[in-house]
Structure 1
Amino acid sequence: MSGLKFYSEKQINKLISQRPGETKLGEKINVASGLDDLEKTDAQFVIFGIPEDVGVRANYGKPGTSNAWQEFLKAFLNVQENKYNSARKILLLGELNTSEVMQKAGNIDVSDPNYVRKLGDLVEQLDSVVSEVVKKVISAGKFPVIIGGGHNNACGNLKGASEAFGHPINVLNIDAHTDLRKLEHRHSGNGFSYALKNGFLEKYSVFGLHRNYTAQYIFNDMDASEAFHYSLLEELSQKQRTAAFCDNLDFVREEKFGLELDCDAIANFPSSAVSPSGLTLDEARELIKEAAKERNCCYLHICEAVANDIYPTGKALSYLVTDFLKDKKHA
């Protein structure tokens, strides 16, 4: 698959609802025309999307995560630019050109006995492209903000970041699941397993984990290793959640770490594994802001969201991103 798909000014303008007397982020945002712009821009934050659901399908999940990026982009570009939100420090890099892998995935017969393994081969192709983009962004001294796709893309994020820094990094994952499934074909449920195996991940902390959807062998592995830390959602009252999250932060904050937010962790958020139980969106916003204050936080990845006609997915994602960017500026 090829790398990035960049946007033209005309494409961006079509997504902006302009009103007299108002300025939207999309009217002021820096828009990349090529990777060379990473070296030329003063922007601190580099946003790009991954419109795919191949990894989710390879994990026997519900497709749809491919559409979240476009919904986010429409909402984000129409956020008001004001004293709280500034586009000056943001570069819109574009989106991964996933059309080829998505088409190949769609052409695989679901009755094929090797269906998920063939999807896993495509996920490995995604891993390579994601890691290259993340590596280039961090190597240019910028902060990647990655939106969309399945949680399979965490592996590419970690590979790219660890190669840019020259050492494995830590991760804080806000998630209902660990994504530490077995080292079978690549899919959205084993991104962290592969990152550990390949030396990209050092310490791994999971906040908001659901005990009902975590296999015993995964609990055994985490309990036996000092590289893991986790907080079960069911063991935390709402009043305890912020303090518990800070404990998870303490586990990773001394070294570079990536922040991963799987939208499955938010109750009733349309996602590949939507749950009636979980964090509220406002709680997730508060946790994002807390993590943004950490100097060693080196990327943000929000994944597994699905856009539909009922829930304002794009707007919800834009709240999470603007919250993070505002607090990260002052970290």
Structure 2
Amino acid sequence: MDALKIYKPANIEKLISKRKGEVKFGEKLQFINNLGDLENNSARYVVLGIPEDIGVRANHGKPGTSKAWQSLLAALANIQVNRFNDPENLVLLGELDCKKFMDKAANIDASDPNYHIKLGDLIKEIDQLVAELVEKIISSGKIPILIGGGHNNAYGNIKGAAKATGDPVNVINIDAHTDLRQLEHRHSGNGFSYAIEGQYLCKYAVFGLHKNYTPEYIFKEMDFSENMNYHLLEDLLRFPDEINRRFKECIETIDNSKFGFELDCDAIANFPSSAKSPAGFSVNQIRNFISMASKNKNCCYFHICEAAPDETSAVQIGKTLSYFISDFISE
């Protein structure tokens, strides 16, 4: 696939801070020469970057999610290899080359009355590429870990997973929002709507939904559907000692078959994201959720999206995302 930039060790060599007597993740990560090599690779997990923020902008959101991938790489490369961390179970595949899409988006005049629609057309092209990559990775017997990018990429993840498994998949989404907005132009707020419309998504659960930012029509839609449920953040925070149990119950509502695991960083309190909020889960609570979901045999992909680093937050965001990945691949 021309749009896939496959990484070699040289791509991260300069990021590794080597020290005598220590071994870093970047020195032991696995790499492949082409997608066909995945089937014969012993690693269970494959990490892929999707550095774009077009879907966020198409949803009238704050740009910057395109920078999360580079923030992660430096942190991931420098995790210590020890008895608790096994980088040899992880293939660093590379990144979807989004440059041409980002360049096209930059050349669209923001005053154009069709500005958001034209951004949506670019997202449709990215959708197809993401779906093809996710389908290939899962069909190779691996679990993709996708680093966005906006939450628009959930649609490609779900479509690719459904095509690989041969059935619509279920999804659990830790998110402040449902992303079930109307079927207008494609953007970061309607990926799950399009996945349902395409019959790629079956059961859908949102954990940590913010009542202040969910339209009434979406609440009605979810209440009416037998395949959708939600857990309001406001209800969960009333009983903090019960949160892990409730998350386990949430997983149990959708884990009767293959499911995708979506994490929108908007759900984390005070986290630099496209829709940063003062309310939400803590990073440590999120880490617990990740550990719980990853141990379920039906979890078929993990998507982290909407992190939006700037010069002051890039290092901390990179470290946070690297914790999330190490938690997910931990046996």
| Band the TM-score falls in, shorter-chain normalisation | over 0.9
Q: Which residue of 2 aligns with 1:279?
A: 281
**TM-score, L = length of structure 2:** 0.97
**Post-superposition offset of 1:40:** 2.7
In 1: Cα distance, 2:40 partner to 2:227 partner: 38
In 2: Cα distance, 1:2 partner to 1:156 partner: 17
Asked if 2 retains the 8 angstrom alpha-carbon contact of 1:209 and 1:233, the reply is: yes
Matches within 5 A, 1:204-223: 204-223=204-223
Q: Which residue of 2 aligns with 1:185?
A: 185
- Higher mean alpha-carbon deviation, 26-35 vs 100-109, is at 26-35
**Post-superposition offset of 1:2:** 4.0
Identity %: 56
1:239 maps to which of 238, 241, 247: 241
In 2: Cα distance, 1:32 partner to 1:322 partner: 20
In 2: Cα distance, 1:228 partner to 1:35 partner: 35
Asked if 1 retains the 8 angstrom alpha-carbon contact of 2:12 and 2:73, the reply is: no
In 2: Cα distance, 1:286 partner to 1:55 partner: 29
Q: Which residue of 2 aligns with 1:322?
A: 326
**Post-superposition offset of 1:309:** 2.9
Residue 149 (structure 2) pairs with residue 149 (structure 1): yes
- Higher mean alpha-carbon deviation, 229-238 vs 189-198, is at 229-238
- Higher mean alpha-carbon deviation, 307-316 vs 177-186, is at 307-316
Asked if 2 retains the 8 angstrom alpha-carbon contact of 1:32 and 1:94, the reply is: no
Residue 317 (structure 2) pairs with residue 313 (structure 1): yes
Q: 1:140 to 1:155 in 2, by over 3 A?
A: same
Deviation per CA, 1:86-135, whole angstroms, max 9, x where unpaired?
11111111000100100000000000000000000000001000000000
Deviation per CA, 1:33-67, whole angstroms, max 9, x where unpaired?
22122123111101110000000000000000000
Question: SS at 2:230's partner residue?
Answer: strand
In 2: Cα distance, 1:30 partner to 1:184 partner: 40
Q: Which residue of 2 aligns with 1:228?
A: 228
Residue 266 (structure 2) pairs with residue 264 (structure 1): yes
Question: SS at 2:159's partner residue?
Answer: helix
In 2: Cα distance, 1:308 partner to 1:114 partner: 29
Question: SS at 2:247's partner residue?
Answer: helix
* Partner amino acid, structure 1, of 2:28: K
Question: SS at 1:170's partner residue?
Answer: strand
In 1: Cα distance, 2:276 partner to 2:73 partner: 22
Q: Which residue of 2 aligns with 1:63?
A: 63
In 2: Cα distance, 1:28 partner to 1:204 partner: 36
**Post-superposition offset of 1:3:** 2.0
**How many equivalent pairs are there?**
327
In 1: Cα distance, 2:40 partner to 2:16 partner: 25
Asked if 1 retains the 8 angstrom alpha-carbon contact of 2:175 and 2:264, the reply is: yes
RMSD: 1.0
* Partner amino acid, structure 2, of 1:67: K
* Partner amino acid, structure 1, of 2:33: S
* Partner amino acid, structure 2, of 1:195: A
Deviation per CA, 1:240-265, whole angstroms, max 9, x where unpaired?
21122122111101110000000000
Q: Which residue of 1 aligns with 2:202?
A: 202
Question: SS at 2:66's partner residue?
Answer: helix
Question: SS at 1:152's partner residue?
Answer: helix
